[in-house]
Amino acid sequence: MMISKVKNAMSTLVGGMMPHGHHHHHNHHSGGGQTCGPDSLPPRFPYGRPDFLDLTPELLQYSTEHASRPVLTLKRDSRLPWRTGYAEVINAGKSMLNEDQASCEKLFVKKPSGKHRNSTLQEDNGDGTGIPLHFWGVFDGHAGSGAAIMASKLLHRLIRDRLGEICHLLENPTGVPPICLAKNGSPYQAETKKGATQEPEDPDAISDSTVRFHMEKVVSLESLVMGVIETAFSQMDDLIEKEKTSYAISGGCCALAAIHLMGKLYVANAGDSRAIIIRNNEVIPMTNEFTPESERQRLQYLGFLRPELLGNEFTHIEFPRRIQHSELGKKMLYRDHSMTGWAYKTIVEDDLKFPLIYGEGKKARVMATIGVTRGLGDHDLKVYNSNIYIKPFLSCVPEVMVYNLDENKHGPDDVLVMGTDGLWDVTTDREVADAVSAYLSCCDPSDPMRYTLAAQDLLMRSRGVLKERGWRLPNEKLGSGDDITVFVIPLAGHESET
């Protein structure tokens, strides 16, 4: 994930703890407008790579070598649920540590027990009772790795706990959650009390409103799970904010999560990571990206409705380039929150402010600062040298797409690929699908490493190899200089699971 360079250089250092347990405070950038947690605060979680990689301190150190950018993969004797494949590589130098994080967990959704009712976020006790839940998460940090690490440790537990609260409803044979719950969690039926509305006295209106009063929207179990995931992301974001008072939790992160529950795969995305399903070598996109370009209108609308958030420095109107003072009174192309096309407007003083959304493609930024518009953390992120907060423009709510796993047949080469933007910046969906399909078709279906090898192959394609002129792809184009993290998840995996 990309954040403006100045910020980045300053802030990558704050969240990280180096492998051996030293704090690395060297190279502290001065003069930044951003407030970071006081140095005295301990990190919420120490820096590291995902637990399932099981790295020794030496290997962890080795993983941060920007010059060689070693590809880390799952060890041959490690085993993730569903034989999930995994590979990762550090960036080419834009930040000291790998700001990507990942998690892969099997958990069990249970009613909160007396003992744990108020102590959520526990590790799964693993007695194997409850509704099984599989979780894969990819977290692309920026301006430090604190938020990404914390999310990789806790988001799946939050989701499990929220699902636990509605556990008895998930097992409901009608498949329809009740609209209202009494305090003990059992369905509550409203009395049919005619005339209890606050509607006008007009007799027509009353009969009309009585009908409306009794309208009941049918909500599916699936949209209840979606709602749980959406609110769990918000709670994760709130938790980061809350714990920032006691811990150093640096930066923010894009969050992409896949959740398998009761035969369905929920893919939740907040940021610019991407997931696709490859089935029969066909691509089924499971995410949309949230960037200043894709969310332009939402952001402009907020700036328009709450101009004080722009701090008198920015204009919510978009222009195709900066305007010079000498151009006052001339006409310039623009578009506002309501427009998709462009029109001309006469330039006034206010239009000389910097545009809220500026730049194109990977270079598009919100308030000249951040290149992604959804994610977790970033509570303290400010526009450089100002007191303007970015957070109000960022959303922590993911878009959730659902794939019905049980209703489709899957072969061993049908997979879900989840990757941070480093992967997709240089390799298209189609290229990823072709590469995975080609790789897996040559690979023994019983090889426990096949999905990890496919992930490694994908990753190498996007990283390239180091030549005199930087990291290059076989076609001589520039490889990705970003951190890259990839999961390759076989969709037939849950069938083979014991």
Nearer to a copy of itself, 222 or 431 (CB): 222
> Residue 401: what residue type?
M
In the complex with a copy of itself, the residue whose CB is nearer, 179 or 465, is 179
Q: Rounded to the nearest whole angstrom, what is the least distance from the CB of residue 161 to a copy of itself in the complex?
A: 13
Q: How far apart are CB 210 and a copy of itself at their closest, in Å?
A: 10
Q: How far is the CB of 326 from a copy of itself (least distance, A)?
A: 7
What is the helix (H) or strand (E) element at residue 159, kind and residue range?
helix 146-165
Rounded to whole angstroms, the Cα distance separating 241 from 255 reads 16
Q: How far is the CB of 430 from a copy of itself (least distance, A)?
A: 23
> Rounded to the nearest whole angstrom, what is the least distance from the CB of residue 107 to a copy of itself in the complex?
19
φ and ψ at residue 113, rounded to 5 degrees: -85, 165
Q: What count of other Cβ atoms lies within 10 Å of the Cβ of residue 209?
A: 16
Residue 97 CB, nearest approach to a copy of itself (Å): 22
Q: In 3D, which of 152, 167, 179 has the Cα closest to residue 225?
A: 167
Question: Please, which residue, 258 or 423, has the CB nearer to a copy of itself?
Answer: 258
Over the range 19-43, which residues count as b (16 or more CB within 10 Å of their CB) and which as e? Answer: beeeeeeeeeeeebebebbeeeeeb
Q: Which residues pair with 253 in a beta bridge?
A: 141, 376
- Round to whole Å and give the CA distance between 159 and 480: 32
Residue 127 or 191 having the CB closest to a copy of itself? 191
- Residue 473 burial (CB count, 10 A): 17
CB 455 within 8 A of CB 443: no
Number of other residues whose CB lies within 10 A of the CB of residue 56: 9
Q: Pick from 392, 438, 389: which is nearest to 415 by CA?
A: 438
Distances (CA, A) of 150 to 52, 295, 315: 16, 26, 34
CB nearer to a copy of itself: give 212 or 430: 212
Q: How far is the CB of 361 from a copy of itself (least distance, A)?
A: 10
Q: Which is nearer to a copy of itself, 119 or 340 (CB)?
A: 340
Pairing of strands 365-366, 100-109: unpaired
Nearer to a copy of itself, 11 or 98 (CB): 11
**Least separation, in Å, of the C-beta of 333 and a copy of itself?**
5
Side chain identity, residue 23: H
Nearer to a copy of itself, 99 or 230 (CB): 230
β-strands 331-334, 274-279: how paired? unpaired
- In angstroms, the Cα distances linking 205 to 197, 209, 270, 272, 485 are 11, 6, 43, 48, 58
Residue placing its CB nearer to a copy of itself in the complex, 94 or 335: 335
Q: Is the CB of 6 or the CB of 59 nearer to a copy of itself?
A: 6
CA 462 to chain centroid: 20
SS3 288: coil
Q: How far is the CB of 168 from a copy of itself (least distance, A)?
A: 12
Q: How far is the CB of 371 from a copy of itself (least distance, A)?
A: 13
Torsion (CA) 420, 422, 426, 428 in degrees, nearest 10: 0
Tell me the backbone φ, ψ of residue 324, rounded to 5 degrees: -95, 155
How far apart are CB 365 and a copy of itself at their closest, in Å?
8
How many CB atoms are closer than 10 A to CB 146?
A: 32
Residue closer to a copy of itself, measured from CB, 223 or 281: 223
DSSP per-residue letters across 379-393? TT-B-TTS--BSGGG
**Minimum CB–partner distance for residue 209 and a copy of itself (Å):** 8
Element (H, E) at 210: helix 203-213
